[in-house]
Amino acid sequence: MISEIANKIFIEVIEKYHIKDQVDQEFQNPYDAEAELIEHLLYRKCWIDTVQWHFEDLIRDPEISPEDALVLKRKIDASNQDRTDTVEYIDAYFLEKYNDVCVKKDAKINTESLAWGIDRLSILALKVYHMNEEANRKDASQQHQMACKAKLNILLEQQKDLSLAIDQLLNDIKNGDKYMKVYKQMKMYNDDELNPVLRVKK
């Protein structure tokens, strides 16, 4: 099951990040890009999400200087592009893997690709981790802890449902009941030719 592989790797990533808990720490992917490509991509994907999660915390500091906020905003922009690129690499992996499947005549297309479902699963893993922290934070009030435990239970249910949906989608693709059709995001604001502000600066 792809969700089982993904969820295991996401936990691995999040726990590894929080050993140092620093956004500028060195990234080392333990999975070989050739021998373990999907594991490599899943690890990279969740690492990007984990670092960006903490970028988003930092930029909301009311005491942050405008200069530091701008630097951080640029890092978030770059991270978002990296995230999108990695999702597309994951989709390309599955597209290649199941390229020879005989698609049934009545096959349906999904509203989102397999990789974008996995993207949401990675974010959910981060929500579960941090909500669990809040639910067990010793310096928090009992009311806060109870509220976070209730939210955690919902997140865990959502994680279970999304994992099942991803596995079902992959199984449908394998069986030809659904087909993959992947569109590039074609983000315009990072392109020197498509963003009018950047085009003028050239």
Beta bridge partners of 178: 108
pLDDT tens digits, residue range 56-86?
Answer: 999 999 999 999 999 999 999 999 999 999 9
> What's the CA gap between 131 and 128, in Å, rounded?
5
Instruction: Please tell me the predicted confidence (pLDDT) of residue 183.
Output: 74
Of 13-17, 71-75, 109-113, 198-202, the poorest mean pLDDT is in 198-202
Confidence label for 155 from pLDDT (cuts 50, 70 and 90) = very high
> What's the CA gap between 96 and 89, in Å, rounded?
11
Query: Nearest 10 degrees: CA dihedral of 57, 50, 124, 60?
Result: 10
> Is the pLDDT assigned to residue 132 strictly greater than 90?
yes
Q: 145 lies in a domain?
A: yes
Instruction: Please tell me the predicted confidence (pLDDT) of residue 199.
Output: 64
> What's the CA gap between 121 and 125, in Å, rounded?
6
Contacts of 198 (CB under 8 A, 6+ apart): 191, 192
> What's the CA gap between 99 and 87, in Å, rounded?
18
Per-residue 3-state assignment (H helix, E strand, C coil) for 126-140: HHHHHHHHHHCCCCC
> What's the CA gap between 109 and 99, in Å, rounded?
15
Q: 199 lies in a domain?
A: no
CB atoms within 10 A of CB 132: 15
Chain-wide mean pLDDT for the chain? Answer: 93
Query: Mean pLDDT across the stretch 31-39?
Result: 95
Instruction: Please tell me the predicted confidence (pLDDT) of residue 201.
Output: 65
Q: 189 lies in a domain?
A: no
Q: Say whether pTM exceeds 0.85.
A: yes
Asked whether 82 and 68 are in contact (CB, 8 A), the reply is no
Instruction: Please tell me the predicted confidence (pLDDT) of residue 190.
Output: 66
Q: 176 lies in a domain?
A: yes
> Is the pLDDT assigned to residue 156 strictly greater than 90?
yes
Q: 141 lies in a domain?
A: yes
How many domains, in total, are found in the chain?
Answer: 1
Confidence label for 94 from pLDDT (cuts 50, 70 and 90) = very high
Domain extent, residue 157, equals 2-182
Q: 187 lies in a domain?
A: no
Q: 188 lies in a domain?
A: no
Burial class (CB in 10 A: 0-12, 13-18, 19+), 166: buried
Structure-token pair, residue 66? 């405008």
> What's the CA gap between 190 and 110, in Å, rounded?
28
Alpha-carbon distances of 131 from 4, 12, 104, rounded to whole Å: 21, 17, 42
Instruction: Please tell me the predicted confidence (pLDDT) of residue 195.
Output: 72
Asked whether 185 and 88 are in contact (CB, 8 A), the reply is yes
Confidence label for 188 from pLDDT (cuts 50, 70 and 90) = low
Q: 202 lies in a domain?
A: no
Structure-token pair, residue 5? 């592989």
